[in-house]
Amino acid sequence: MAAEQLMGETRECQEDLIVKNKVVDQAEVADYLICKRREFEESIEHGRSNIDVWITYVKWEASLKEVAHARSICERALEEVVGYRNPSLWCVYAEIEMESNFMDRARKVLDRAVTLHPRVPQLWYKFIELEERLGNVASARMLFERWMCWMPDQQGWLSYIKFEIRYNEIERARQIFEKLVQCHPRVESWIRYAKFEMKNREVGKARNVYVRAVEKFAASDCKVAGFPEFEKRCKETGRKRGLDNIRKVQKGIKDDDDMVW
């Protein structure tokens, strides 16, 4: 039975338990729960690799406030390869603990998750969200630092930078940019860094970033786009002309005039 069908039938059965706005007696409720759990268990038995069935089962138990049952099912699912490797299951597990106000349990679940799967951004984001929700900015920062040790993609670094900017930690954000351009030494990383400095009205620092980028990529075919335009905005026409000349030299175009910086 598909997970969507099972969940749909579950909702219908729950509605049937209400007769003229009055809940039926406890015996019928107990029978209903036994019946639905049996159906879920049979679905799992016939499709243990179907993670959707596991997650539907977990969410159903959580909707009944049966947190202990939901927790038990999560642990069983994690014993299966399909569950162990599935980030969504880990996140659902943590979210159930969080919604039930078991924050320490949620933290332990997510710590297990990022330890086992340190290269899955979704798990780090969930863990950081938990700490921010609790107002633990320092703990969230430590998680970012722990994550950055695994050298994630550029988006991971940018998320860390945005985190620091949200808390007006501009110098910390600058330090992270320095690490970003070392971890991902691409032109776009340097340009983002320079634009960050410009946004903070640090013209001198922005120019320094551009100059370092030009020097770094001078021997390659990469072009540091935006630097001449930057100097033009800053009314440094001489510098702009010098940068235009660099581009011409890189393209093999001769210019008789002296290069000006």
Q: Which residues, in sequence order, are CB contacts of 42 under 8 Å at separation 6+? A: none
Give me the pLDDT at residue 12, please: 55
Strands, E assignment, the chain: 18-19, 22-23
Question: Could you tell me how far CA 68 lies from the centroid of its own chain?
Answer: 28
The distance of Cα 141 from the centroid of its chain, to the nearest Å, equals 14
For residues 86 and 48, the answer to whether their CB atoms sit within 8 Å is no
For the chain, give percent helix, strand, coil, nearest 5.
75, 0, 25
Q: Where are the domains of the chain?
A: 48-139, 153-230
Q: Which of 117, 74, 107, 111 is nearest to 92 (CA)?
A: 74
pLDDT greater than 60 at residue 185: yes
Does domain 48-139 match CATH 1.10.150.20?
no
pLDDT, tens digit (0-9, with 9 covering 90-100), for 11-47: 555 555 444 334 567 888 888 899 999 999 999 998 8
Selected residue with higher pLDDT from 81 and 141: 141
Whether the Cβ atoms of residue 98 and residue 130 lie closer than 8 Å to each other = yes
Rg for the chain, CA atoms, rounded: 28
Give pLDDT, residue 47: 83
Residue pair 113/94 in contact (Cβ under 8 Å)? The answer is yes
Predicted confidence at residue 118, as pLDDT, reads: 97
Do 48-139 and 153-230 fold alike per CATH? yes
Q: Is 193 left (phi over 0), alpha (psi -120 to 50) or beta?
A: alpha
Mean residue pLDDT of the chain comes to: 84
Residue closest to 63 by CA, chosen among 112, 13, 111, 22:
13
Per DSSP, helices labelled H in 79-167 are: 81-84, 87-99, 103-116, 121-133, 137-148, 154-166
Could you tell me the fold of the domain covering 153-230?
1.25.40
At 83-128, the pLDDT tens digits run 889 999 999 999 999 999 999 999 999 999 999 999 999 999 999 9
Percent share of the chain, pLDDT over 70: 77
Q: What is the mean pLDDT of residues 233-258?
A: 49
What confidence tier does 82 reach under pLDDT thresholds 50, 70, 90?
A: confident
